[in-house]
Amino acid sequence: MLEVRGLRGGYGEVEILKGIDLSVAETEIVTIAGTNGSGKSTLGKGVMGLLPRMSGSLLFGGKDLARLPAEGRIKLGLFYVPQVANVFPSLSVYENLQVVKATHARERIEPTLERFPALRQRLRNRAGTLSGGERQQLAIARGLVASARIMILDEPTANLAPAVMDQVLSIIEDLPSQGCGVLLIEQRAREAFSISARGYIMHLGEIVASGDRTMLDDPSLGSMFFGLHSH
């Protein structure tokens, strides 16, 4: 579904991504893990077309994304949820779902809410009053209303309590059953890999390892990337 080859990019003269190759199949969860400063979030922005300077090959469903702006990528089914500013805080929960610009989006609001009972109870509340976990749920729900085929989720468990983190990860784990693949950008590698088919580890703008969750038990990787063995 998503094929990235030789992706390079950054801001101004600074090159952050140094030739990234990765793929995400349809209805597959793939993790991008790494420590702070590894370039994970920049990669998400690059795939979405939000970097000022980029080169490389990006294919989505066989279509070339190179000249397509972020809005065009959304129309194809690529959806990006940033770590912060992932909802419209001054709008109500329901209005956040209504602003999705996609064919038949309004018809998908009600079935989507069936999967998010916490949001249904707060439809009239401003999104800015939601907890961190509820905001993540709303952002993911917007992706489903937009008929996302692949969601790029940037650090969706950041600053969440363990119980809330587990709830958000459970929602993400269920996305493939709804026809949606996931590129999951996470610092909590072990937790992210537990719901992923496979993943990649980034360091200083490059992919340095790839495989399934068993690679987290590699002592050389554990010593190289602090935090990967935390539970």
- For each of the domains in the chain, give its residue range(s) and CATH number, in order of start: 27-41+70-224 (3.40.50.300)
Task: List all residues 6 or more positions away from 114 whose beta carbon is below 8 Å from its beta carbon.
Answer: none
pLDDT of residue 224: 61
Mean pLDDT by 10-residue block, N- to C-terminus, for the chain (231 residues)? 94 91 95 90 93 90 89 92 92 94 86 93 95 95 95 94 94 95 93 93 92 82 54 39
pLDDT of residue 229: 43
- At 30-84, the pLDDT tens digits run 999 988 889 999 999 999 999 888 899 999 999 999 888 998 999 999 999 998 8
For residue 229, give the amino acid letter.
H
pLDDT of residue 219: 78
Instruction: Please enumerate, as own/partner, the contacts of 223-227 that have beta carbons within 8 Å and a separation of 24 or more.
Output: 225/33, 225/34, 225/35, 225/189, 225/201, 226/35, 227/35, 227/187, 227/189
State the pairing for strand pair 29-33/53-60.
unpaired
pLDDT of residue 218: 81
d(CA 210, CA 201): 6
